[in-house]
Structure 1
Amino acid sequence: MNNHLRWKHPSRWSETGTAGDGAYVGASSSGARQTTMRQFAAKKCEKGRSESITNLIGEMVALDMQPMSVVEDEGFKKLISFLEPDYTMPSRKTVTSRVLKLYLDCSAKIKHLLDQTMYVALTTDCWTSLTTTSYMTVTCHYIDEEWQMQAHVLATQNMEERHTAENLQIELETVVAEWNVSGRVSACVHDNAANIVKANQACDWESVCCFAHTLQLAINDGFKAVQILERMIGACSKLVAHFHHSTTATQALAVKQKQMSVKEHALIQCCKTRWNSIYGMFERLTEQRWAVCAVLSDRSVTKPADARNLELKDEYWRLMEEMDPVLKALAMATTAACGEEAVSLSVVYPMVCGLMNEHLQPSGGSDKVATFVNTVRESLVKRFLPWDTITASKPAVVAAALDPRHKKLRFMSPDMQAAAKTHMEAIFEVEKDKERASRGEQLDEESGDDVTAPKRQKKSSAMAFLLGAPYEEEENPELERYLSLPACHLDTDPLAWWKTNQQQYPVMARLAKRFLSIPATSVPSERVFSAAGLLVSKQRSRLLPDNVNMLIFLNKNLPR
């Protein structure tokens, strides 16, 4: 700027007085002179701005899973020095204290939000870090006053004791007590491990097994029932591994894809811990079949011995194509149930019955596919008990009845529908008593003793006695009115529907918040594992469990 004024505007530059001042200084109408560039460059970093920068560094550490020692990195110090020359870089200890304060403030806000909710649902799962330290993660889910689904990670506790049912129960109840939600937990979603199932059954909330995990167990039963499928999975996995490990084969595949006008997609490897990965591997291999075969046939790329070892039999290719519709339906069911922002538990039994009635029926395919389909179907029946009347009282069926899309329970037999309605009537009465007690407490808080309420009740009862049976109130008018409404279209948002109709059905709305907030899967807890993998790395293997809990909590709960 100084040179620009000197060479392009010499007359104006000379008006600044001394050329050494280095900037044009104009005068305003009030006579005040504009700050020179040197004065601007020499401007001190105010205390308030310095504090804000330090707090933002702490927030960056939490959101981006950065180590506390980032303030000691030369590149980071150089960047901050350029942006704010007068800012004093904080020590690692200072950053740690700011992160701790951030954790305390964030946990206080979440506790305040949880205090205002009627019901919360939990998910939990256990995992082991790179340092072989065992952790239990607990997340909570609820529907707020605006009928929006909310979720928070509550804790990632170090599990030093053996994972017995008793120890897991103690850990869960400790987390519930710390967050002041005792007596308001509607259910806890977990995997099918015997210890966690037993632990939750001993608690005073509903035990819900993860739908996706249960479905994958049924799919694995189907693969085990057909030996050729297991051999085919092994052969496909070996073929994909060859392309993943050989840069020559990978480059040749990209060339063949362009030559044959095939989509330029990489092959997908299956993984036992990744749901639907076998379907993904089969689907991608089927799509890239001729490009893959062309690479294996090219002797400048693949040796004859390797080609003979890697080429798939024609029977395998036919079997993958025949399996595609069945595996696709199962993969879609898994994906549909794993969402966190939408209602998911209410679609579990509609999807299970839909799979069994539409997609897991014998068809004109091969005997191998028929065996797989029948085995998966039998496993689903054994695990979900869709035709047993005891199932009518499960949270997933209650959630379906509270979902305006599935309220008619068309996917169930008449006997099951009757049993579900009986159970709905029972929990409706319990919830109605809670709603009356809640209203009574509100009246006491607002106006003290409500002396008029008993009189109105007595007058109403006397009038009903005089006018007779035709004027007597129905036993469950709200429940009957709700169930008599036609079911909504499948595209309807159940939470938006309840937001509009909660005044007409106040007790049913409370039940909807209680059951529709329960996730269908324990995926929210399992998704913490990927973030934890970035946190507890080889470079940060000495991170204390308390700091792991704090950093994961902030990473998942801080607003983005």
Structure 2
Amino acid sequence: MEILQEVTKKRKAINEATNLPNSKKQALLTFSQKGSGASQATVDRLILNFVCSTLQPFSVVEDESFVNLVQCLAPGRSVMCRQTMAVRLKECYETLKKKLMAELALVSNVAITADCWSHFSRAYLGITVHWIDEETLQRKSAMLTIERLVGRHTYDILAAAIHKALREFHIHNKVLACVTDNGSNFVKAFSMFGLHSQTDVKEDKDNDDELEIVDVSSILDEGQNEFHYVLPPHQRCAAHTLNLVAVKDSQNAESDPAFKKVARSTFARCQALWNKQRSTVAADLVKEIFGKLLYTPCATRWNSLYDSVNCLLSVVQQHGEDMLDKLVDGLGLPRFRPAELAFLVEYAMVMKPLALALNILQAEKNMFAGYLQPTITSILRELGKKMNDSSVVYCRPLAKALHEGVDKRFGSILEDNKLTTAADLIPSLKFSWLEGQQKEEAVSSFKNEIDAFASGASSASVMTEENVNRDEEAIFLNILTTSVSPVLEEVNSYLMNSHSDLQCLQHYPILKSAFLKFNTSLPSSAPVERLFSVGKDVFAIKRGNLSDENFKMQLFCKVNYKI
């Protein structure tokens, strides 16, 4: 922009100073600017930034119109060729990688998310890394890597790729948790090689992934060096688990004959309407009547059925049931009965807590592990209200099925004292999500957890200082006098503090350290899903021959440009 403004000013000055024809004025302008303005290095850097940030193919630098544009804005400067572009991209990748490694070296705790993705008949494993800035307490995230997977995505292949990435970036001893979906290959990889993994080895029946049976004795054989992997603790994606509740556990409501009858008839009419909209003629009619197209469900997008029902209800509320009748009549479909429309209203009302929770837990910038327990607790409370609400006529069995599903899948999480402590370390939450006896027990548990954390931190600091040679009694007294009393005093002061801003933790060094430890992880693996969305833009339809290495480097530079 600055270069363009400078060119404009010089052109205006020349036009005012001369009465030459336009062609000669342009020639004079080009001559006067030759060798001036932006340097060649600046032009090269801007071109590289343009290609990476807008996800352009490398061949754009050889396009005649692009070359003319650059040379017009920076006369006398050359435009790099496609091969040079690839070299500069690699240099940029190496520079960003070193900066990321340097930043991660200063962090004590990180968390990662991982998932598999396929495009153009190629499979990849994507990994993102997340940490909390120790000064500002703000969430930071970056792409770690995206590696090509050849063959089947078995547990040992995934373990090897994750292990390699963590070693490459020297964070293998800093990862508090790796968040993945409920795929059996990921579950088994961390069951076999994870440290203190909370996942079980049994097959998850809600997943279509095949669970491979292997001989454990062969894995433990010392000669099998390829199995010597060490993975961090595993954490299942809460958003994916909630989606399983909405899709799988909700089917248990069909054990009630009345619910099953009205649900199947209602969704049959909805599905017929959504299917019709795929044709251009039907889509034109929908847009003519409602002013916009209806959302349609997508099997791979969480919350899509709820969003589609909500969209249908919103246009009916805005335009009236008569317009809906007009639409289905025009499409040759049967009309919705009043009971079916009432069912959709109740369905949206019952499913709303799950939908809101999914939106909350898939956040990244202002999301911490401590939000998981309060969110799940809120879901259970809201579903409990719906179960006892006399106004809920059709969907009471659905509310019960969802309540049982959430309780079954998140039962162990709700009993995890560390997650409770993580929630209470967030000043805006701080026990406000608990009620009655639960609140009193949580306060006592919080003090014990922080005391244990501070004692462990003090023990570590004692062993790293020059007093290693002190006897056990001296170390014990040092811990008592330097950590226990200040901890209780700091906790009591925190509990009395009414500030809800995260920055208030700056006044409590022990609690701040605990916050960094307990809240670094994320509840869901949504960040790596967003990475794949960008990857699809890089790996566009006309770039099917893009090499795996160039794909990884361009995606890395695009996602991590803020570094």
Q: CA deviation at 1:93?
A: 0.2
Equivalent position of 1:223 in the other structure: 250
Do 1:431 and 1:510's aligned partners in 2 also have CA atoms closer than 8 Å? no
Distance in 2 between residues matched to 1:4 and 1:525, nearest whole Å: 50
Residue pairs, 1:355-370, within 5 angstroms: 355-361=379-385, 362=387, 363-366=389-392, 368-370=394-396
Do 2:451 and 2:488's aligned partners in 1 also have CA atoms closer than 8 Å? no
Alignment equivalent of 1:477, drawn from 481, 485, 493: 485
Equivalent position of 2:333 in the other structure: 308
Do 1:59 and 1:99's aligned partners in 2 also have CA atoms closer than 8 Å? no
Runs of 5+ consecutive residues of structure 1 not aligned to the other structure:
24-35, 258-263, 441-448, 465-471
Distance in 1 between residues matched to 2:495 and 2:301, nearest whole Å: 39
Q: CA deviation at 1:99?
A: 0.8
TM-score, normalization by structure 2: 0.78
Residues 248-274 of structure 1: CA distance to partner in whole angstroms, max 9, x if unpaired?
A: x444445545xxxxxx55321111221
Residues 26-54 of structure 1: CA distance to partner in whole angstroms, max 9, x if unpaired?
A: xxxxxxxxxx9816535324697122212
Distance in 2 between residues matched to 1:322 and 1:133, nearest whole Å: 43
Equivalent position of 2:377 in the other structure: 353
TM-score, normalization by structure 1: 0.79
| Distance change in 2, residues 1:58/1:234 (3 Å) | farther
Do 1:2 and 1:22's aligned partners in 2 also have CA atoms closer than 8 Å? no
Do 2:383 and 2:403's aligned partners in 1 also have CA atoms closer than 8 Å? no
- Identity over aligned residues, as a percent? 21
Distance in 1 between residues matched to 2:79 and 2:308, nearest whole Å: 50
| Distance change in 2, residues 1:511/1:543 (3 Å) | same
Alignment equivalent of 1:377, drawn from 403, 419, 425: 403
Equivalent position of 1:528 in the other structure: 531
User: Does residue 552 of structure 2 align to residue 549 of structure 1?
Assistant: yes
Equivalent position of 2:215 in the other structure: none
Equivalent position of 2:423 in the other structure: 400
The one-letter code matched in structure 2 to 1:359 is L
Distance in 2 between residues matched to 1:315 and 1:250, nearest whole Å: 26
Q: CA deviation at 1:493?
A: 3.5
Alignment equivalent of 2:128, drawn from 123, 139, 151: 139
Residues 128-182 of structure 1: CA distance to partner in whole angstroms, max 9, x if unpaired?
A: 11x1211111111111233221100000011114222222122111111000112
Q: Which has the larger radius of gyration?
A: 1
Q: Secondary structure at the match of 1:308?
A: coil
Do 1:192 and 1:210's aligned partners in 2 also have CA atoms closer than 8 Å? yes
Do 1:392 and 1:419's aligned partners in 2 also have CA atoms closer than 8 Å? no
Q: CA deviation at 1:428?
A: 3.7
Number of residue pairs matched?
502
Q: CA deviation at 1:106?
A: 0.7
Q: Secondary structure at the match of 1:486?
A: helix
Equivalent position of 1:206 in the other structure: 233
Q: Secondary structure at the match of 2:72?
A: helix
| Distance change in 2, residues 1:316/1:45 (3 Å) | farther
Alignment equivalent of 2:504, drawn from 497, 500, 518: 497
Do 2:383 and 2:400's aligned partners in 1 also have CA atoms closer than 8 Å? no
Equivalent position of 2:495 in the other structure: 486
Residue pairs, 1:125-524, within 5 angstroms: 125-129=115-119, 131-144=120-133, 145-201=135-191, 202-204=193-195, 205-225=232-252, 226=254, 227-228=260-261, 229=263, 232-247=266-281, 249-257=282-290, 264-289=291-316, 291=319, 294=322, 297-298=325-326, 306-309=331-334, 311-361=335-385, 362=387, 363-366=389-392, 368-385=394-411, 391-393=415-417, 395-408=418-431, 410=434, 413=438, 422-437=448-463, 440=465, 473=481, 476-484=484-492, 485-486=494-495, 492-494=500-502, 496-498=503-505, 500-501=506-507, 504-506=508-510, 508-524=511-527
Distance in 2 between residues matched to 1:370 and 1:294, nearest whole Å: 28
Q: Root-mean-square deviation (CA), in Å?
A: 3.8
User: Does residue 54 of structure 2 align to residue 68 of structure 1?
Assistant: no
Distance in 1 between residues matched to 2:21 and 2:352, nearest whole Å: 76
Q: Secondary structure at the match of 1:538?
A: coil
The one-letter code matched in structure 2 to 1:315 is A
Do 2:325 and 2:336's aligned partners in 1 also have CA atoms closer than 8 Å? no
Q: CA deviation at 1:97?
A: 0.7
Do 1:431 and 1:511's aligned partners in 2 also have CA atoms closer than 8 Å? no
